Structure 1
């Protein structure tokens, strides 16, 4: 029997879990006998080269960060490596012999208070380390806390660092705070999750019972109602946990160190009453001084560090800025980690580290760092601006608009927040507001080419084509080497049926950027429309030399081949596209058309049906299946498909296609199936 090995080396011993985000295996490396690892296969909504590139880059960044962390904190799981197989992404993690906390938190069997305090203290020590390095666990729950067999210590596993690429619903919401569900991740989101774990441990609750507990919240405050009157618990411990799980993250503990201090103070109180009084005096004095510092706006200057230490921090910060400016974002993150470790209140370091995470594609982490910068300095307009872009990338457009607006309130003469708000307003269809914002950005910064570009794209979408061309002209006047401006002007020219002008613009874009795939694709389409068979083929072939996994090139080349009767070649192209994306509806639909042309009705019917199975609202697939059913003399089936297509076309505003479907229905309902019909010989084609 042939055993399948992952990456040619990992033999699956056991499937540990299979949920919406990932399938997890316990494996053994056949090259290293008796060596066990955890392998996770991530379920990606789109296994395309861009998603895989982002995942690969995120993995490399996280491995470097966690490896440095492990030098001072060995209670975190190690990331070993990653690999790709059949267009799927796998990560290999250290296997920690031991048992999960779920084996200790049993329904109806509460842990003792001292056990829970010990649990909290151990995990909080880990959180102090990882938060300092800019890592948020994001997925703390009993199943991700392992009691290590070798020393009986707790280890934190399964760092969920890839959520921004895996756009699925989380299945562990009972441990997740509201802001994290809403993609507004904070460092103290981990503190909330740990607080819920503590409640489960103290009360002996299952995950389902925790979910019920969270549902039964105070309607006015949103706070979890616990413990009940019959449950006895140290009031000071309950107060600490209540602050950990506060609904409002502003009222929650901000740092893991704060929770640790309170827990240590609680333990100290229980042993030495006199020491408690002294601690309170010192804490009160410290809070008075800190409050005074904040009021004067110069807090950290009251606690001057030695000159050499201050110079070291400044050098580290500047090194990070220099690396960021040079495009070394991983290196910048490392430097800002060190700055924050030395000076946890440094808002600028959080801000710049967030910028670096944004450039690395880690938008959740970027948003969290910007939020921390805002917490430390609410008057920092740049932090609001940066968080706005992170929220934009996370698809939180209304929240992004709110942040851009706040940035504008703090500094109304900066062009960038207007630009960002314009982008977000475009996404929520506030076209008037978006145009006004792009125009304001241009008024403040007359050579802001990106603002011209986005205003031009929006104007084209609103059918203000001449105004759009004027925007692209303005960019080219400012920067004659801006390939994007030529490309966008080419798109507009093509819509205006100025095909030769479009060809020139696409060619100029390609001359500036010889790897401009989209320009090759659109120029190929224009050549195809003009009947220039060889030129079109060369453009599609050029794309596939640059990126052999660019699906659209196969689909467009397939359409081109179909147009001059090369149905076999078209089928080959659509098949290649489906190898890269097995759920590509356009490829199934178009391949069905090609199969129909070569007389393979069965294969055509299967492809149309597959397209419908993937997307039940795909009007073209219903229409095309109606065509083939009519050819197969399946009158009722053809009518049913045409009616479904007509309804969908009407909903989608496709007037001509709706009329086509209605005409076919009329022919079938008023006549018996003729030997020769007036319907199109093949179905409708789709490019994307």
Structure 2
């Protein structure tokens, strides 16, 4: 097989891995200039009888369809092509150079709480996008997450077990339930309903919670006992220093009963974002220190490698894309946290001084003492100049740890000295997003501007500027910012929708409608664009079309008072008075203080006399 071209164009370099249903190969594409690398995933078909081939073709078509739908997200590998050849099925995907997360989530090596929160937030941000597309991943685990070398971001891979729910009835879409009857996933990361073949969106939330617990405790999930009375995981005893706030979020993520969990990744993400911030909102609670040749002089690893720490046979990976360059640079995060004295409470801060912090790398360290010492000294110099206090020592075992509190004059912290531009822009944009949600618009705009200054082509920062300028009632500037976002990211339905908001703010309803329709076509699962479309159609007096659009919005989120209000207004215009009253009462049931629904309901009562 490796002597021939796959699909007539892909030349195999080597096999990367093999799992229960597939094999993956690193290949070069001979049809494109410079013969770029990509990854071919072959769906294995052991039995070529008609029934087996039909099942394989169904799995293949499902994964291809979902990857086409999801692959435009920057942290999901893009699908380049798919084809069938000699009753074998192949997917060509973007090549991601990086290291699998299971290389860092190691048995017996618990992570700090700060690091766990950052990991969970990053995974849930990707997964929230997946859930908005009405897709359940069903196999979230360390080996299906890759830390990409070029920017340190996580990439979610292996969508071979996905389940789409967009074609399910409305009630199923609300709960995330599906009619799948086969249990697919990985032991330890699968909740009970997934074992029964009935996964929900909250099944993915469970798996992410297990990932966090594994990192926090240093224990494989199958080694964590269940409470014999409640069947809940008794994990807290293995992480006695975890904060009660984070523990409560993790507990809810991994509840035995799916009805007690966060229903989707978005709700879990919001709970994490509302946790107390030990660094009081400072940008850069996670920093990447580059060590050449990976850890201990080793590059990225693959399933089956002798030096791969792995996760054991119960956590076999079916990767779709990962690095193979043994000489490439690996990125290892560094925790920034308050220092502790002998494992006790944080040291007090001196009045008027900078925070005393310990800067301690995690993951494996370079084996050369000279490299480690130089790294500590140079890092200390950078931090000193940036206004942070350094308190480090290397003990006899070669482990770096804090040894005393040191105080520096109060200085501005410039973590940009240590971050590549794209990482700094990403961190600043996330801080801007938080400020925007809090209604602190001028502060958010300043942060987005700083992100753009750091990385001039970072599209999410321009989108943040656009949304903030809309909130500040500056629609002309907002349109320019959205245009910048679209110039640097050709597939950006959120920016298309936000540009529509700016056009609508200027009263240009037809221009706004065209943009909302475009956003619907680009991302059918986006609730907000359907709601916007329905609102503008109603403003234009096209009530029947408004009703159809808002029904699409309600199918994606039944708990929107605005959506039910627009529906009631459309039905009222169409003289469907009884249905309009029902819609308005539903809106007020969701939000009794929703002014437009209350006013329209009052007028309806006066008109119909009830």
TM-score by length of 1: 0.39
Question: Per residue, is there more helix in 1 or in 2?
Answer: 1
Question: Per residue, is there more strand in 1 or in 2?
Answer: 2
Q: Which of 1 and 2 has higher RCO (CA within 8 Å, sep 6+)?
A: 2
Rg: which structure is higher? Answer: 1
